[in-house]
Amino acid sequence: MDKITYKPIGKINTPFKRGKGTPIQPPAGKGIEGKIKLYPEYQKGLKDLDGFSHIILLYHMHKAKKYKLLAKPYMDNKTKGIFAIRAPSRPNPIGFSIVKLTKIKNNILYIQDLDILDETPLLDIKPWVGEFDDRENIKTGWLEDNVHKLHKTSADGRFEKK
């Protein structure tokens, strides 16, 4: 299989017009509010989603510049492999965020705790389920000494297209 083609199912609207200053993960964007405008032809697929407090969003990071296989993450000043960091400039720039779902009205989803740029094309919504998606006894490599910087760090535009 050589190429895979997807079609956005909607758009994500957030207060973040530029990379610079955007929270680097949802827990660092606590309380930040936004909306998903699902294209109306997909609205029927939202049935029963309102029972879930948290949803997984997969989206196309449309502002990410071309990747390098080694890059400096925000929370350390040493270069890492791109698959060992969460930077948006990746071979396939698919973003992944778990956000709070506060309300659904027709094809509009009201969401919170955001680290996503405005106008981002949405690819999928999945319900977040602890029994599927939570893990214990984990090791987090280079982040173990660095993750305490999460709430003091925001993006600086280094991965953004000019």
Which one among 25, 107, 112, 153 touches a copy of itself, defined by CB under 8 A? Answer: 25
Residue closest to 32 by CA, chosen among 21, 44, 47: 21
Minimum separation from the CB atom of position 112 to a copy of itself (A): 12
Cβ contacts of 61 within 8 Å, gap of 6 or more: 88, 90, 93, 94, 95, 117, 120
First-to-last alpha carbon distance for the chain, in angstroms, is: 31
Minimum separation from the CB atom of position 18 to a copy of itself (A): 18
Which one among 27, 30, 103, 156 touches a copy of itself, defined by CB under 8 A? Answer: 27
31 touching a copy of itself, by CB under 8 A: no
Which one among 33, 35, 49, 110 touches a copy of itself, defined by CB under 8 A? Answer: 49
According to DSSP, residue 114 is labeled -
The DSSP bridge partners found for residue 94 are 60
- 79-138 binders of a copy of itself (CB under 8 A): 79-86, 90-92, 94, 96, 98, 121, 123-135, 137-138
Q: Which CB, 31 or 51, lies closer to a copy of itself?
A: 51
According to DSSP, residue 90 is labeled S
Task: Please state, in angstroms and rounded to a whole number, the distance separating the CA atoms of residues 5 and 9.
Answer: 13
User: Interface residues with a copy of itself (CB under 8 A)?
Assistant: 1-9, 25-27, 42, 44-56, 58, 60, 62, 69-70, 79-86, 90-92, 94, 96, 98, 121, 123-135, 137-144, 147, 150
